[in-house]
Structure 1
Amino acid sequence: MKEKGHVDIEEQDGTTEELGFVKSEKANAAAQVNLSAKLSRDGTSASGNKGSMKELWRLIKIARPEAKTLSWAFLFLLMSSAVSMSIPFSIGKILDIATQPEGSKELLFGLDITTFYIGLAGVLATGAACNFGRIIILRIVGERIVARLRSQLYRKTFVQNAEFFDANRVGDLISRLGSDTIIVGKSITQNLSDGLRSIVSGAAGFAMMGWVSIKLTGILAIIGPPVAICAFVAGRQLRNISRKIQKNLGTMTKVAEERLGNVRTAQAFAGEVQEAGRYNRQIKRVFALGKKEAIVAASFYGSTGLMGNLTVIAVLYVGGGMVKSGAITIGELSSFLMYTAYAGSSMVGLSGFWGEMMKGVGAASRLFELQDRNPTISPTKGEPVKSARGPIEFKHVSFSYPTRPAVSIFKDLNFKIEQGTNVAIVAPSGAGKSTVASLLLRFYIPTEGVITIDGRDITKLNAKQLRRKIGFVGQEPVLFSGTVAENIAYGVPNATRAEIVAAARKANCQFISDFPDGLETHVGARGTQLSGGQKQRIAIARALIKQPDILILDEATSALDAESETLVNQALGKLLQEKNTTISIAHRLSTIKRSDRIICISADGEVAEEGTYEQLSSNPNGAFSKLMEWQLSGSDMPAQVTEPAPTEQEEIEQELEETEQELEETEQEEEPVRDGRHFLSATSKMSDATKLAEYKSAGNRKNEVPAHEAVYFKNLLSSKRSFGDFRTVLHTGLYSQVVAMEVPVNGEIGDEVHTVDQILLFTSGRGLATVAGKEQEVSAGDVVVVPAGTQHQFVTKGDQPLELVTVYAPAEHLPSSVHRTKEAGDREEEEGVDEAPAWSRRSMGENEGLGLVRESGRY
């Protein structure tokens, strides 16, 4: 459960405001997010009628291609059910014969008792064979359905456009391809079979019970409606819980996939404990939902089992009297009771089938949402592309990323690149250099304007065929797990060995000769077995083997050392000798000088100037010269240069100056009181203006006096803090909260976000403080400032606990957001009650008089 005031970093990534930075207009525009391409967590965005019969019927129709095979399984099911139904009848007849007087002879179905037993054994063997056939068919069909679903969904996912992947987490997509498909496959094979078996067995059982005794059957009929109601209610709850579990499993998979994929970075920053805690929190959420699911299921099965047992007792009571009166025989009563057991287990199985089917519906809705989504840019539709040669022209192009529509990247961008030329595109950081490549590759569509190649609008071309004509080498080369040869030939799967070797040689991949397995060397996941320069040269070979008409180099050498850059530049030089058009997105001077022409894009998304290197560098006041000056000085030119806004401290000082006269008048009245302890101010004598001035000087960001003076933070007293030792709570006259706490040896606190600023004074021990991803060693006497909305964590080091005092900036807190103690808070939270204690509505002086505040003072 998310506490009040707690910001979920996973869901609101990027909202943190660093201390001393004022949000720009661009940041405010970026906050206007468009997530229309984002899949809903429970799969309801597409259907809108979750759990409907239409959705259930669509789930069942997934098995349509297996209908012929499944019909054999259902035939075996009917045969095995018929065998099962014959057993109670046979046992009843045997009991009647066994209770006959000695010497009497009675035949069963015209057979003597020995022959009947032999025949019964044969029937039971047939039933076992039918069960074997039913189970093996359903298991194989289930695996086939899961495999087909995964294949369809993976293919559907892969053709989605870039906007889709901008809005959706990879971990959630993996969860849909993994656990969701398993649940769906089980629901429409094994679970559906169990449900049909329950229906057949239940119907046959009730029919046989009615044949034995209508009176006893009527007693059993009473249990039907309550069980049906329980099944319906439990089914809905199980479906909803299942959706939540699958949603959280997707998040958990995302956390694991992202963190384990970057485990070296986490280890380099000693983040093992932090990452384990992050994963454990997600596990706890899944466990809590699983526990809730277990309670619902246990309550349902327990209640229906009790009703069934009470009904059996009633049948025995009435049936015993009927046997005494001679209305039925002891064998018939025994058969009836056995049919009762069959019918009862069938009803329980039927209710369980419904609950499992609803879980399947919950998982299927997430699959259907993905399956129904069509990409906004179809990769296979459009005019055929036999060649991408010819001039490339951007005509009045404006563009904003679909997920950030309010942030304009380009505004009326115009430039032309002639066929066969080598053009460098330079721009300040964040001005959209790489966006040019994304638009040419048709990952996105311009908001306005057109992009043409040889006069043809690329939005009307077949995207897949166009991309085959474009070679791309990125700043961070992406290699797939496999061999060196497989990665080089990735874009040309049918490439010959000779073509692969030729491309590798042109890309200066001589290092392959040092590998024991040569081209068959496995590069590892994401190429982890290779250096940065080696990966980059393999990426160049991959682009070269395509023989592209257009080559895009997106800062291909920016992350390399000098030696690797020299080798890569030699490989790039060979690429540039080809007859293709080359677009170099660059900021390194060596790359820029090598180009025939330079296009300089301004921070506003327009072409500032263009020309040769000699032409642009000769103008000292030009945009290109200024950009080069910034880069040669070791920094990057800001995307926008605006008049600096006054800082928050400057605003506070200005307000303090306005109230300085009033402060001087009241200063004489505000003497320290109460046993010599120093108060910052005698709050009961202060005016609102003075209170506000001191309140603002303490760092509060709201321009208003707080409503409550004594405040606990529910965040700090939540279950997430059970490992911390909160010994003393102190309140100051500034309405802020001061908490003394201890981090035990090998313990940690934090990894949470608060809505107010904090100042932490470390009083003893030593440890590691992580604030907004930056780490620093701390020990006694150190002070750490944690800005509002910033993620933070503190871990002990050594054999001594880390003790600290935390001062929280004042903030207005309603009574409903505070708790008296951790235990009371946990209890009220579980009970759904959220009431503040009486002390939170008293003044500081009243609470101190009652002994509820130990100490007040200035910190």
Structure 2
Amino acid sequence: MAFFDRNRTGELISRLSTDAAIVGKSVTNNVSDGLRALATALVGSGMMLYVSPQLTGTMMLVVPPVAMFAIVYGRYVKKLSRKTQTAVAEITKVSEEKISAIRTVQAFAKEEAESKMYAIKVSDLFKLAKKEALASGAFFGGAGLSGNLAVLSVLWYGGDMVLNNVITIGELASFMLYTAYVGTSLGGLTSFYSEIAKAIGASDRLFELLGGQSLNPLHGKIRFENVFFTYPTRDQNPIFKNLSLSVKPGSVVAVVGPSGCGKSTIGSLLLRYYDPDQGNVYVDDVNIKDLNLHWWREQVGIVSQEPTLFHGTIAENIAYGRPGATMDEIKSAAQLANCASFIESFHDQYDTQVGERSVSLSGGQKQRIAIARALLKNPSILILDEATSALDSESEVLVQEALNRLMHGRTVFTIAHRLSTIRNADVVACINHGHIAEIGTYNELLNIENGVFRRLVELQSSDQTHHS
């Protein structure tokens, strides 16, 4: 997630289109050309050795300096290619951002300023392209020159050998022919090397390796150990300072604390949207960083305050976490999540289209569809991020009932802003000033004189009294 915080949409689109195209081109065209050139060079060199080892030795004097030159050039081109790709991404980013917000740009009469900014970015790219062209010219020019020098030295030395009857004119002619073959294929190899260096420069930005193990069976024991964490886009304010928390398998933990203390960040670290700056998160005593990320996220279900439903049918949305689910499984999840009755009241029932950003459903209905989605996914670990706070009391009863079914037999983290909803939690962990300030049952924490939790409960109840 930190990656998405730092990289804007325009840059990611550029990576997908431009970088992928460069890597694709180098893999298809260049690999076949490169392999053909390599085969020709090897066979040609063998024939040259067969005709005259002395002349081959003379030829080979040229190869080491050219090879060294090629390695230095390749490294330079790789670095340059990465810069060029970043500059292309920068241009895409600027244009995408400004064109998508064109009304704001026009409202502030900023067209000229934005055009100038775009022109600066284009000029940066032009400078880089010029450098690339110069480097390419110097490299290919140098390689060509050294090839010609090699041919001249072979002609001079070979002519001398013919005069001294060491080889015949026919042998010298065939040797020159093989030299031309090898020269051409080495030229092909240098361009192959330069293109591959360029592709590696682009692919460095594309590939992020996925690996890691999966746990079978997963018990659901979670441990945060000495965790320090700051959001990458907000360097100044650390959220956690030496936070430690241990959760038994199958228990319900309520995470509470003042606003902005990092309650939801617990869920983000657990889903590994981010890694801690220091300290570790363990699942069944295995570091979460050693787990296969795809497998791990399949084991965790989340129901948030404002669930996202995608454009498509209600059935597709419920089955989002388990694409192969049958209609019966979808209906059964909907039944358990208390949403079957309203879905069946729609004309198209489960085939009802959820509007753009799910506009056709109320908050309570969306929430229950999200719970059905989590039920069908059947996760071992569940994160409830204030799942009932935005609902009216009637919807809240139905949603709470559905949540109780969903929580059964799983390790549950419930992130609570409304403290009345967590009376039944096994453990309440109260975060304050970046670490767990108090931990215990609801009643134990309520009985701590001048406790952080007690103060929060008193504040909320006085607020509610005030509002009513």
Does TM-score exceed 0.5, indicating one fold? Answer: yes
Partner-residue secondary structure (3-state), 2:432: coil
Partner-residue secondary structure (3-state), 1:489: helix
State how 1:83-482 maps to structure 2 within 5 Å: 190-202=29-41, 205=44, 227-246=66-85, 255=93, 266=101, 269-270=104-105, 285-305=124-144, 341-362=180-201, 370-371=208-209, 378=213, 380-381=214-215, 384-385=218-219, 399-401=227-229, 407=238, 409=240, 425-438=255-268, 458-459=284-285, 471-479=301-309
- List per-residue Cα deviations over 1:666-710 (Å, max 9, x = no partner): xxxxxxxxxxxxxxxxxxxxxxxxxxxxxxxxxxxxxxxxxxxxx
Structure 2: stretches of 5+ with no match in the other structure: none
Change (3 A) 1:477 1:244: same
Q: Which residue of 1 aligns with 2:400?
A: 573
- List per-residue Cα deviations over 1:360-405 (Å, max 9, x = no partner): 554566678x43x766xx5x137543xx6xxx999x9754327789
- List per-residue Cα deviations over 1:43-66 (Å, max 9, x = no partner): xxxxxxxxxxxxxxxxxxxxxxxx
- List per-residue Cα deviations over 1:751-794 (Å, max 9, x = no partner): xxxxxxxxxxxxxxxxxxxxxxxxxxxxxxxxxxxxxxxxxxxx
| Aligned residue among 485, 488, 492 for 2:315 | 485
Counterpart contact for 2:367–2:399, Cα < 8 Å: no
Q: Which residue of 2 aligns with 1:65?
A: none
Counterpart contact for 2:230–2:238, Cα < 8 Å: no
| Aligned residue among 375, 386, 392 for 1:555 | 386
Residue type of the partner of 1:585?
A: I
2:186 and 2:135 map into 1 onto residues whose CA distance is 17
Q: C-alpha displacement at 1:536, in angstroms?
A: 3.8
| Aligned residue among 295, 309, 330 for 1:500 | 330
Counterpart contact for 1:551–1:583, Cα < 8 Å: yes
Partner-residue secondary structure (3-state), 2:33: helix
Q: C-alpha displacement at 1:296, in angstroms?
A: 0.9
State how 1:798-837 maps to structure 2 within 5 Å: none
State how 1:722-741 maps to structure 2 within 5 Å: none
Counterpart contact for 1:424–1:597, Cα < 8 Å: no
Partner-residue secondary structure (3-state), 2:261: coil
Change (3 A) 1:363 1:381: farther
Q: C-alpha displacement at 1:351, in angstroms?
A: 2.0
Counterpart contact for 1:223–1:311, Cα < 8 Å: yes
Counterpart contact for 1:488–1:541, Cα < 8 Å: yes
| Aligned residue among 622, 627, 646 for 2:455 | 622
Q: C-alpha displacement at 1:498, in angstroms?
A: 2.3
1:449 and 1:350 map into 2 onto residues whose CA distance is 48
State how 1:683-832 maps to structure 2 within 5 Å: none
Matched, 1:601 2:430: yes
Structure 1: stretches of 5+ with no match in the other structure: 1-161, 452-456, 635-859
Change (3 A) 1:508 1:225: closer
2:142 and 2:136 map into 1 onto residues whose CA distance is 10
Q: C-alpha displacement at 1:345, in angstroms?
A: 2.0
- List per-residue Cα deviations over 1:284-312 (Å, max 9, x = no partner): 55554333222211222234445656877
Counterpart contact for 1:471–1:546, Cα < 8 Å: yes
Q: C-alpha displacement at 1:474, in angstroms?
A: 1.2
Q: C-alpha displacement at 1:497, in angstroms?
A: 0.6
Q: C-alpha displacement at 1:239, in angstroms?
A: 2.6
Partner-residue secondary structure (3-state), 1:622: helix
Change (3 A) 1:552 1:206: closer
2:270 and 2:99 map into 1 onto residues whose CA distance is 34
Partner-residue secondary structure (3-state), 2:384: strand
Counterpart contact for 2:23–2:199, Cα < 8 Å: yes
1:521 and 1:338 map into 2 onto residues whose CA distance is 71
Q: Which residue of 2 aligns with 1:79?
A: none
Q: C-alpha displacement at 1:276, in angstroms?
A: 8.2
Counterpart contact for 2:258–2:456, Cα < 8 Å: no
Residue type of the partner of 1:407?
A: P
2:151 and 2:368 map into 1 onto residues whose CA distance is 78
Q: Which residue of 2 aligns with 1:147?
A: none
Change (3 A) 1:424 1:294: same
Structure richer in helix, relative to its length = 2
Counterpart contact for 2:371–2:403, Cα < 8 Å: no
- List per-residue Cα deviations over 1:20-45 (Å, max 9, x = no partner): xxxxxxxxxxxxxxxxxxxxxxxxxx
- List per-residue Cα deviations over 1:408-431 (Å, max 9, x = no partner): 63777789999898x865422111
Residue type of the partner of 2:264?
A: S
Question: Normalising by structure 2, what TM-score?
Answer: 0.63
Q: Which residue of 2 aligns with 1:687?
A: none
| Aligned residue among 372, 383, 391 for 1:541 | 372
1:501 and 1:569 map into 2 onto residues whose CA distance is 21
1:209 and 1:538 map into 2 onto residues whose CA distance is 75
- List per-residue Cα deviations over 1:121-165 (Å, max 9, x = no partner): xxxxxxxxxxxxxxxxxxxxxxxxxxxxxxxxxxxxxxxxx7x76
Residue type of the partner of 1:485?
A: A
Could you say which structure has the greater relative contact order, defined with CA pairs below 8 angstroms and 6 or more residues apart? Answer: 2
2:368 and 2:76 map into 1 onto residues whose CA distance is 56
Partner-residue secondary structure (3-state), 1:606: strand
Q: C-alpha displacement at 1:476, in angstroms?
A: 3.6
Counterpart contact for 1:383–1:461, Cα < 8 Å: no
Q: C-alpha displacement at 1:223, in angstroms?
A: 6.0
Q: C-alpha displacement at 1:574, in angstroms?
A: 3.3
- List per-residue Cα deviations over 1:786-827 (Å, max 9, x = no partner): xxxxxxxxxxxxxxxxxxxxxxxxxxxxxxxxxxxxxxxxxx
Partner-residue secondary structure (3-state), 1:490: helix
2:73 and 2:277 map into 1 onto residues whose CA distance is 50
Q: C-alpha displacement at 1:315, in angstroms?
A: 9.0
Residue type of the partner of 1:237?
A: Y
Residue type of the partner of 1:543?
A: A
Q: C-alpha displacement at 1:572, in angstroms?
A: 0.9
Counterpart contact for 2:299–2:381, Cα < 8 Å: yes
